[in-house]
């Protein structure tokens, strides 16, 4: 009888275990994003057409836009307001975007009319013939009106214009002017830029700041945007330049010598570091294999960091759209920031707009692209609407070159970004960059955290490239 | 003359049969046969995403067998599946023994059967998100509970990153898979046991056979075909494992290399932007098919030999 009771208890136990999932699944799903896609139909009557507008009339047809940046939804609304042409905008998560576009176009769908891409997706889109030829629609007439590197990113291997972006995204170092004055005796962007001139200088700057009680960066990923000064693939061969190894060493040094605040990029403490003091999370705290300190629950985190030194972070490395990120997070430090150049010219992201090669409304779609990228009124509107995004239309940048940004102590950011953009050499960008860059990042990550020796990590890196792209020659 | 007439009538009547099976055959040809043949064709080409496919012979197959990441992925799959099947079948077996014991005569089998099967009804996506939340390194319920237990005993608990380290990620996924599937195996095994005539058990009991003897000499041999079915279907499903490991891992995570299964590897070349190589993905699919086929044949032979 006793045995039976024991068995019954065991059975109930197993049952309870199987019910865990049933009971908690509601809570789990409620935490997930409820919608990956949002559809917004921007409708307006033709009576709202702008006076003297040279735009194409839609003849009652609706333009369908698939985008991964919600910004384009605002452009679509504005376009409808100005022209009366109806636009349906579908915002798709960036991770799903290439697959969805690929599925739609390979399935012969004539919608969407407008598709977009970030630089790392574009080469594949071009090679697969997803984007229509914009030169046939007259894009050539506008050459020289858009910042050079953006114009070139929008061209395929044969130099045919396939996409245009409304923004430029050169990278810069956002730094605290007050700390710069205190530690280095100057807050001049030119002078501070020299402290970030190359990787070894950055390491010295980091050490100086640490001695002064500050940390150079919140995370060790801040220089990533500047690390692409050489092409990953040259003449079909993998090219790991000395600068790549220097970058690797810098990241490892920053991590292993506690030169950052150990806040992972895009994490809450990383954003908090923009507005003031944060605890310095040492390598031991970050290392979950070490049982000395718990940092995984809020209470334990408070406890563990209570006695730790606090610091203020000196700088962040971000593209020009970082202006908007900083705007939302600097809090009381507003006005104390400056922006200077980094160790190399680099850029990150950017939404490039093109027309689906299967679209049946190419003229209307081209009209929409011109409205978003080549229209000075739109550029003015967007600068104001976005509160500081950097447009790609040269005439608009010229017009705003003397605009002062109060968050950055009145610095003239538009002229700064234009200068940075002029230095970008797009010929160094290849379609392999995303995958190779990720593999390189994984190698750096495993070395810095001690999960792999340098040789082993590099071996895995080379193996990954070889197995993913057999067409690339890998010399170790 | 009569016979011929009757035959032609019969033939005309039989022709209606083709009409009735036509819808299925058409759908089967379009959605099953064509993709299988098309994939076979593509596996001999260099097709990337769109554009022309050029015949390249066995190059893709040579690449698969010499690709160490493919074998690593296969090893990961087998490792996760082995832990999973041992736990899944072990638990199902244990429950089957308890519920089929003629002495205990456990009540409520229909209720327990439903309850044990419930995890299998939850979509894999929900299961993945649920366990990702529960097992979160810093904020997950499991670690918080373990921490409280350790604290109660005055010890310090170092939180385990269940899904983030090589040592635990694969096993964690295997345990969750077992939790999802043990109810299914249990139902199969119980069906097998219930198919055995009660006379055998009663006769054995009268002859004085003990519980273990009955289990070993009657139950086990008679449910072998069911066990074989469970093992083969589980192996076929296991080697194609995708949803849970895919949803519960992140490419940037340090543990990704230890949970990337063959299907995830195929997905990388079939669908992930930047690495799409349709020809190569097709070859991986066929190599996996051949592996599953060989292992299944081997498994059936092994079972048959034992039976003999």
**DSSP bridge pairs for B45:** B55
Is pLDDT of B228 > 50?
yes
CA distance A142 to chain B (A): 30
Report chain B residues whose CB lies below 8 A from the CB of A470: 63
Q: Do B273 and A99 touch (CB under 8 A)?
A: yes
Distance between CA atoms of A233 and A432, rounded to whole angstroms? 8
Least confident of A21-35, A154-168, A216-230, B294-308: A21-35
pLDDT-based confidence at residue B300 (cuts at 50, 70, 90): confident
Greater confidence, B167 or A306? Answer: B167
Determine contact: B138 vs chain A, CB below 8 A: yes
Q: Which of the pair, A38 or A347, is modelled with greater confidence?
A: A347
Q: Which of B255, B254, B96, B240 is nearest to B172 (CA)?
A: B255
pLDDT digits (tens, 9 = 90+) for B230-283: 888 888 888 889 999 998 887 656 667 788 899 999 998 988 877 888 899 999
The burial of A365, by beta-carbon neighbours within 10 Å (0-12 exposed, 13-18 middle, 19 or more buried), is given as buried
Q: Supply the pLDDT for residue A304.
A: 64
User: Of how many residues is chain B composed?
Assistant: 308
Q: From chain B, pick out residues whose CB is under 8 angstroms from the CB of A295.
A: 138
At B272 the three-state DSSP class reads coil
Its ipTM equals 0.71
Residue entry with tokens 């009804």: B121
User: Model confidence at A284, in pLDDT bands (50, 70, 90)?
Assistant: low
Residues B176 and B129: their CA atoms lie apart, in Å, by: 12
Work out the number of other CB atoms within 10 angstroms of the CB of residue A245. Answer: 13
Residues in chain A closer than 8 A to B98 (CB atoms): 7, 10-11
Rounded CA-CA distance A371/A378 in Å is: 7
User: B111 pLDDT band (50/70/90 cuts)?
Assistant: confident
Average pLDDT over residues B166-178: 89
pLDDT at A299 over 70: no
Provide CB contacts within 8 A for A171, sequence distance 6+: A225, A226, A317, A318, A319, A320, A342, A345, A346, A347, A348, A420
Q: Which of A8, A297, A435 sits opposite B144 (nearest CB)?
A: A297
Higher pLDDT, B298 or A49: B298
Q: Which of B115, B147, B158 sits opposite A19 (nearest CB)?
A: B115
Q: Answer whether residue B147 shows pLDDT above 90.
A: no
Walk me through the domains of chain A, giving residue ranges and CATH numbers.
2-169+348-400 (3.40.190.10), 171-346+402-476 (3.40.190.10)
The closest alpha carbon to B91, from B170, B190, B171, belongs to B190
Gyration radius (Cα) of chain B, Å: 25
Q: Which residues pair with A313 in a beta bridge?
A: A215
pLDDT of A53 above 80: no
Least confident range from A35-39, A111-115, B13-17, B209-213: namely A35-39
User: How does B227-237 read in b/e, with b if 16+ C-beta sit within 10 Å?
Assistant: bbebbbebbee
Report residue A2's pLDDT band, with 50, 70 and 90 as the boundaries.
low
Whether chain A has a CB inside 8 Å of the CB on B167: the answer is: no
Task: Give the model's pLDDT for residue A285.
Answer: 57
Query: What is the DSSP code string of A56-120?
Result: PP-TT-EEEEEESSTHHHHHHHHHHHHH--EEEEEE--TTTHHHHHHHHHHTT----SEEEE-HH
Q: Tell whether the model's pLDDT for residue A18 goes beyond 50.
A: no
Q: Which residue has the higher pLDDT, A267 or A169?
A: A169
Instruction: Report the range of poorest mean pLDDT among A233-237, A294-298, A439-443.
Output: A294-298
A12 membership: H or E segment, kind and range:
helix A2-31
| pTM: predicted TM-score of the whole model, two decimal places | 0.74
- pLDDT, average across residues A284-292: 41
Q: Rounded CA gap, B120 and B138, in Å?
A: 28
Distance CA A271, CA A328 (A): 9
pLDDT of residue A52: 36
pLDDT the model gives residue A165: 92
Q: Which residue has the tokens 């990954």?
A: A464
CA-based torsion, B133, B135, B137, B143: positive or negative: positive
Q: What distance in Å separates residue B298's CA from the closest CA in chain A?
A: 30
Q: Would you place residue A141 in the very low, low, confident or very high pLDDT band (cuts 50, 70, 90)?
A: confident
Subunit contact A15:B126, Cβ cutoff 8 A? no
Of B133, B161, B252, the CB nearest to A28: B133
Residue A45 pLDDT = 37
Contact check, Cβ <8 Å, A296/B275: no
- Residue of chain B with shortest Cα separation from A3: B104
SS3 A170: strand
Measure A106 CA to nearest chain B CA, in Å: 7
> Which helix (H) or strand (E) is B48 found in, with range?
none
A137 has pLDDT over 80: yes
Q: Are A217 and A261 within 8 A, CB to CB?
A: yes
CA distance to partner chain A, nearest, from residue B229 (Å): 24
Q: What are the structure tokens assigned to A97, written together?
A: 């975007």
Tell me how far apart the alpha carbons of residues B39 and B56 are, in angstroms, rounded to a whole number: 14
| Mean predicted confidence (pLDDT) in B184-212 | 87
Mean pLDDT of A435-455: 86
Please say if the pLDDT value at position A10 is more than 60: no
pLDDT digits (tens, 9 = 90+) for A154-208: 988 888 999 999 999 999 999 999 999 999 999 888 999 999 998 889 999 999 9
Which residues of chain A does B257 touch, with a Cβ-Cβ cutoff of 8 Å?
460
CB B189 within 8 A of CB B88: no
Q: With an 8 Å Cβ cutoff, are A19 and B252 in contact?
A: no
What is the least distance, in Å, from the CA of B127 to any CA of chain A?
7
Q: Measured between alpha carbons, how far apart are the two ends of chain B, in Å?
A: 54
CB B44 within 8 A of CB B57: yes
Report the alpha-carbon distance of residue B303 to residue B308 in Å, rounded.
9
Alpha-carbon dihedral angle through residues A403, A405, A406, A409, given to the nearest 10 degrees: -100
Nearest one of A198, A214, A211, A201 to A261, comparing CA atoms: A214
Closest CA to A145 of A395, A380, A391, A419: A395
- Identify which has the larger pLDDT, B255 or A29: B255
Most confident of A67-76, A227-236, A306-315, A453-462: A453-462
What pLDDT does residue A195 have? 92
Chain A contact present for B159, CB below 8 A:
yes
Nearest to B229 by CA among B195, B260, B198, B258: B195
The pLDDT assigned to A22 comes to 38
Q: Comparing B8 with A289, which gets the higher pLDDT?
A: B8
The pLDDT value given to residue A369: 92
Chain B nearest-CA residue for A105: B50
Residue B9 scores a pLDDT above 60:
yes
Percent of chain B with pLDDT over 90: 31
- Convert the pLDDT of each residue in A343-387 to its tens digit: 888 888 888 999 998 888 888 899 999 999 988 888 888 888 887
B158 touches chain A (CB under 8 A): yes
What percentage of chain B reaches a pLDDT higher than 70?
92
The mean pLDDT of chain A is 80
Looking from the CA of A194 toward its CB, the CA atoms found within 13 Å total 7
Q: Please report residues of A whose CB lies closer than 8 A to that of B278.
A: none
- Give residue A43's pLDDT: 39
- How far apart, in whole angstroms, are the C-alpha atoms of residue A188 and residue A203? 20
CA of A128 to nearest chain B CA: how many angstroms apart? 5
Selected residue of A103, A104, A288, A447 to mutate for chain B interface (largest B Cβ count, 10 A):
A288
Q: Looking at residues A129-141, what average pLDDT do you find?
A: 87
pLDDT digits (tens, 9 = 90+) for A232-260: 999 899 999 888 999 999 999 988 888 88
CB A112 within 8 A of CB A65: yes
SS3 A39: strand
In which element (H, E) is residue B215 found? Answer: none
Predicted confidence at residue A298, as pLDDT, reads: 57
Q: CA-CA distances (angstroms) from residue A401 to A186, A341, A342?
A: 24, 17, 21
φ, ψ for residue B151, nearest 5 deg: -60, -40
Between B253 and B76, name the one with better pLDDT: B76
Tell me phi and psi for residue B230, to 5 degrees: -60, -45
- Do A99 and B271 count as a contact with CB atoms less than 8 A apart? yes
Interface list for B 9-48 with A (CB within 8 A): 48
Half-sphere exposure of B16 (CA within 13 A, CB side): 4
Q: What is the pLDDT of residue B7?
A: 62
Residues of chain A found within 8 Å of residue B179, distances taken between Cβ atoms: 17-18, 21
- How far is Cα B278 from Cα B266, in angstroms, rounded to an integer? 9
DSSP designation for A230 = S
E strand or H helix at A340, and its extent?
A: strand A337-340
Report residue A265 as tokens.
């990029």
A268 versus A125: the higher-pLDDT residue is: A125
């Amino acid at each position: 009888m006793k045995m039976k009771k024991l068995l019954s208890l065991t059975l109930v136990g197993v049952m309870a275990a199987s019910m865990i999932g049933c009971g908690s699944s509601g809570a789990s799903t409620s935490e997930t994003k409820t919608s990956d896609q949002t559809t917004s139909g921007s409708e307006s009557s033709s009576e709202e057409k702008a006076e003297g507008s040279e735009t194409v009339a839609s003849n009652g047809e609706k333009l369908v836009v698939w985008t991964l940046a919600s910004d384009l939804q605002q452009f679509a609304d504005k376009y409808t307001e100005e022209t009366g042409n109806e636009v349906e905008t579908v915002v798709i998560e960036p991770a799903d975007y290439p697959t969805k576009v690929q599925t739609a176009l390979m399935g012969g769908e004539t919608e969407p009319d407008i598709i977009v891409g970030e630089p790392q997706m574009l080469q594949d889109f071009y090679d697969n013939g997803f984007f229509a030829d914009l030169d046939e629609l007259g894009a050539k007439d506008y050459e020289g009106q858009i910042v050079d590197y953006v114009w070139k990113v929008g061209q395929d291997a044969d130099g045919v214009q396939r996409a245009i972006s409304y923004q430029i995204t050169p990278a810069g170092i956002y730094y605290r002017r007050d700390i710069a004055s205190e530690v280095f005796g100057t807050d001049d962007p030119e002078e501070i830029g020299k402290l970030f001139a190359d990787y070894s200088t950055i390491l010295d700057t980091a050490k100086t700041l640490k001695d002064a009680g500050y940390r150079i960066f919140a995370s060790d990923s801040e220089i990533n945007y500047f690390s692409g000064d050489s092409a990953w693939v040259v003449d079909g061969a993998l090219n790991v330049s000395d600068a790549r190894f220097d970058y690797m060493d810098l990241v490892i040094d920053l991590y292993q010598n506690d030169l950052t605040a150990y806040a992972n990029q895009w994490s809450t403490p990383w954003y908090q570091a923009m507005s003031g003091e944060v605890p310095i999370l040492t390598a031991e705290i970050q290392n979950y294999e070490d049982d000395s300190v718990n940092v995984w629950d809020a209470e334990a985190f408070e406890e563990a960091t209570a006695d730790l030194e606090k610091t203020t972070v000196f700088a962040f490395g971000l593209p020009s759209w970082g202006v908007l990120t900083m705007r939302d997070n600097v809090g009381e430090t507003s006005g104390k920031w400056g922006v200077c150049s980094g160790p190399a010219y680099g850029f990150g992201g950017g939404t490039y707009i093109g027309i689906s090669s299967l679209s049946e409304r190419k003229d209307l779609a081209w009209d929409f692209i011109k409205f978003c990228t080549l229209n000075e009124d739109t550029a003015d509107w967007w600068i104001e609407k976005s509160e500081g995004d950097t447009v790609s239309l040269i005439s608009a940048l010229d017009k705003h070159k003397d605009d002062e940004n109060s968050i950055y102590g009145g610095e003239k950011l538009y002229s700064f970004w234009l200068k940075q953009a002029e230095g970008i050499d797009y010929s160094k960008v290849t379609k392999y960059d995303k995958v190779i860059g990720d593999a390189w990042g994984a190698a750096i990550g495993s070395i810095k955290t001690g999960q792999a020796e340098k040789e082993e990590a590099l071996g895995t890196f080379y193996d990954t490239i070889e197995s993913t792209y057999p067409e690339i020659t890998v010399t170790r | 003359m009569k016979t011929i007439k009757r035959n032609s009538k019969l033939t005309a009547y039989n022709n209606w049969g083709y009409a009735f099976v036509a819808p299925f055959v058409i759908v089967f040809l379009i959605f099953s046969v064509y993709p299988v043949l098309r994939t076979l064709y593509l596996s001999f080409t260099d097709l990337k995403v769109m554009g022309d496919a050029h015949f390249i012979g066995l190059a893709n197959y040579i690449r698969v067998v010499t690709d160490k990441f493919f074998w690593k992925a296969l090893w990961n799959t087998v490792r996760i599946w082995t832990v999973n099947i041992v736990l899944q079948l072990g638990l199902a077996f244990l429950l089957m023994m308890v519920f089929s014991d003629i002495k205990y005569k456990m009540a409520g089998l229909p209720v327990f059967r439903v309850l044990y099967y419930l995890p299998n009804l939850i979509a894999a996506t929900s299961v993945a998100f649920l366990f990702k939340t529960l097992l979160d390194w810093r904020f997950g319920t499991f670690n918080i509970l373990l921490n409280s237990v350790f604290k109660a005993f005055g010890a310090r608990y170092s939180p385990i990153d269940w899904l983030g380290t090589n040592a635990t990620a694969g096993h964690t996924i295997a345990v969750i898979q077992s939790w999802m599937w043990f109810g299914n195996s249990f139902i199969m095994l119980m069906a097998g046991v219930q198919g055995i005539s009660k006379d055998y058990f009663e006769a054995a009991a009268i002859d004085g056979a003990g519980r273990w003897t009955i289990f070993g000499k009657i139950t086990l041999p008679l449910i072998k075909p069911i066990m074989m079915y469970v093992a083969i279907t589980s192996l076929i499903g296991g080697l194609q494992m995708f949803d849970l490991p895919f949803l519960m891992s992140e490419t940037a995570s340090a543990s990704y290399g230890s949970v990337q299964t063959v299907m995830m590897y195929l997905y990388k070349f079939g669908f992930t932007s930047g690495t799409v190589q349709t020809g190569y993905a097709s070859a991986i699919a066929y190599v996996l098919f051949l592996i599953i086929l060989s292992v299944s044949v081997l498994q059936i032979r092994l079972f048959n030999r034992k039976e003999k």
